[in-house]
Amino acid sequence: MEAFGLIDAGAWSIVPPLLALALALITKEVYSSLTIGIFVGMVIYTFVGTGPGIDQLIQAFTMVPQMMAAQISANSSLLLFLALLGALVVLVALAGGSRAYGEWVTAHVKNARLAKMLTALLGVMVFIDDYFNCMTVGAVMRPVTDRFRVSHEKLAWIIDSSAAPVCIIAPVSSWAVAVGGYLGENGFSTFVESIPYNFYALATIVFVFYVCASNMDFGPMLLAERRARNVKPLGAPSDDGGNASDAAPEQVEFDGMRVSDKGTVLDLVIPIATLIVFSVVGMLYVGGFFQGVDFAAAVGADPIAGLCIGAAVALVVAAAMYLPRGLTTLSGYMDGMSEGLKSMVSAIMILVLAWSLGGVCRYMIGTGPFVSAVLNGLGVGMELLPAIIFAVSSFIGFSMGTSWGTIALVLPIVSGVFSPSDPLFLVAVGATLGGSVYGDHISPISDTTILSSTSAKCDLLDHVSTQTPYATIVFVAGLIAYLLTGYLHTPWVGLALTIVLSIVTFTVLAKRDMAKEAPAAR
């Protein structure tokens, strides 16, 4: 973002993201809220730089599309991947693969609990990259969870909570290489050693499986689940949503286009498997693995370019499978690709606006440096710093909508405050990584939040409002654990405390709300 110079806007730097959030919550409309936030950020940028005036207002207005164009250019590979993946999802549906997969699930997956557990398991298994995780898990598992009337809000939460938390603790992932780079010499080994101190990520993964297995919910998520159980999808059982035994009626159209009745489960499995395998191969190829670069560095070099390669290969494989067998015609194939692109327009628009707001905060008005300076100026005991770093990283991640950007801002401060030999160093690194992910989770301008809601076909604000209470339970438990770990210098007590507190708190709240709703349900 060389075209935009960074200024020190002070406390004004946190106004645009907070304003965008407030407007989104009040109006329930994301596009205008993000746009206003971007414009206000530009106004602050021009007013602080040269003083208020009509010329400055005009300049701020003209800089909005400039920032959007810059973000589109910087993230063009991800936008291409979204378009290709949208095309693949629609083509699989048109070929009858999704229908056949749904019928297979009806025979083998017997209840909603198992469907949710399998979704979480797949999320843990796809740990190479969080973007890839969000879109792939949703595409594969949404037909399954829909069959058992699991709400799209619950699906989006499972996807989001098993994407970044898994990637941030996986030594072989794009995240590991990035974090290692921020930590400098011996950065990768430091990252690995800090994994047990990443209480939020580790506890969130355990928490997801517990919630899925418990079949309990509270707050907005409970309301979403109750609404979903009152909507009977094609082939759904007629009972309370726990079991599915009757076969699905044949679906003959998808968005007005003819769906083949000759598709099989392999027509879904093979293209998705191709996407997964060749995305990893693409990452390795782009990253220079076949020219001698080590595996972890190759995967993290340019993961999005690898994802585009995987999606392109999967589309070619789909064409080779579908066209000769008459599952679709050539014109139908191209129409399906067009429809898939259209299905991603909403997500692309929100992403571009979110990136633009994040760009204003990060590259123009200095939201991150302001909050970081506040952190540096706190005159507190060293033992309390990991908990403070955890909280501040969360706020930065929430304000800017990026885990990576937050990590890049905070880790250099951590390295300056603590020496590598300090027992609190690894605690602070883990707190930075975990706090960044939590802030990303509850931020409506986060790309992974947007992708998770898109993949689950869930309204963005509904996803944020249902996910935030669950994520905050783990955050508060982690904050308490970091206060303790700052004195103990060992991760295991704090990690166990975070997990136990999260599960106990959730169980108490869920039993309270479900008991309160039970009379109405009966």
For residue 455, pLDDT over 70 is answered with: yes
Given a contact cutoff of 8 angstroms between Cβ atoms, the answer to whether 322 and 91 are in contact is yes
Residue 288: inside a domain: yes
Average pLDDT for 201-229: 93
Is residue 27 domain-shared with residue 157, that is, in the same domain? no
What are the DSSP calls for 39-90, one per residue?
Answer: HHHHHHHHHHHH-SSHHHHHHHHHHHHHHHHHHHHHTHHHHHHHHHHHHHHH
Residue 516: inside a domain: no
In 3D, which of 1, 70, 4, 2 has the Cα closest to residue 42?
4
Is residue 33 domain-shared with residue 138, that is, in the same domain? no
Helix (H) or strand (E) holding 258: strand 257-258
Is residue 160 domain-shared with residue 294, that is, in the same domain? yes
Residue 237: inside a domain: no
44 or 383, higher pLDDT: 44
**pLDDT at res. 245:** 40
Is residue 63 domain-shared with residue 142, that is, in the same domain? no
For residue 199, pLDDT over 60 is answered with: yes
User: What share of the chain has pLDDT > 70, as a percent?
Assistant: 85
Average pLDDT for 505-517: 89
Cα distance between residue 143 and residue 433, in whole Å: 33
137 or 402, higher pLDDT: 137
Residue 521: inside a domain: no
Helices 199-214 and 112-125: crossing angle in degrees, nearest 10, is 160
Cα distance between residue 199 and residue 105, in whole Å: 35
Residue 240: inside a domain: no
403 or 387, higher pLDDT: 387
Number of domains in the chain: 2
Residue 97: inside a domain: yes
Is residue 152 domain-shared with residue 288, that is, in the same domain? yes
422-442 per-position pLDDT tens digit: 888 899 999 999 999 999 899
Binning pLDDT at 50, 70 and 90, where does residue 242 land?
very low
DSSP for residue 325: T
Is residue 85 domain-shared with residue 50, that is, in the same domain? no
Residue 280: inside a domain: yes
Is residue 44 domain-shared with residue 136, that is, in the same domain? no
DSSP three-state, residue 418: coil
Cα distance between residue 363 and residue 345, in whole Å: 26
**pLDDT at res. 321:** 95
Cα distance between residue 14 and residue 464, in whole Å: 20
Residue 420: inside a domain: no
DSSP three-state, residue 478: helix
**pLDDT at res. 416:** 63
Using alpha carbons, list the distances in angstroms from residue 214 to 64, 411, 496.
Answer: 46, 37, 19
**pLDDT at res. 238:** 39
Average pLDDT, the chain: 83
Average pLDDT for 1-22: 80
Choose one of 303, 318, 344: the last residue of a domain.
344
Choose one of 344, 379, 404: the last residue of a domain.
344
**pLDDT at res. 470:** 96
Is residue 105 domain-shared with residue 66, that is, in the same domain? no
10 Å CB burial of residue 58 (0-12, 13-18, 19+) is exposed
Is residue 49 domain-shared with residue 67, that is, in the same domain? yes
Using alpha carbons, list the distances in angstroms from residue 508 to 151, 474, 495.
Answer: 22, 14, 20
Quote the domain boundaries for residue 53.
15-74
101 or 162, higher pLDDT: 162
33-79 per-position pLDDT tens digit: 889 989 999 999 998 877 888 888 999 999 999 999 988 888 788 78
Highest mean pLDDT among 107-111, 159-163, 498-502: 498-502
Given a contact cutoff of 8 angstroms between Cβ atoms, the answer to whether 278 and 106 are in contact is no
Binning pLDDT at 50, 70 and 90, where does residue 390 land?
very high
Is residue 303 domain-shared with residue 155, that is, in the same domain? yes
Average pLDDT for 280-309: 84
481-503 per-position pLDDT tens digit: 999 998 888 899 999 999 999 99
Is residue 258 domain-shared with residue 330, that is, in the same domain? yes
452 CB-near residues (< 8 Å, 6+ apart): 134, 138, 156, 157, 159, 160, 163, 458, 463
For residue 467, pLDDT over 60 is answered with: yes
Is residue 312 domain-shared with residue 288, that is, in the same domain? yes
Choose one of 74, 89, 114: the last residue of a domain.
74
Using alpha carbons, list the distances in angstroms from residue 298 to 285, 306, 433, 506.
Answer: 8, 10, 22, 40
Q: pTM (2 decimals)?
A: 0.70
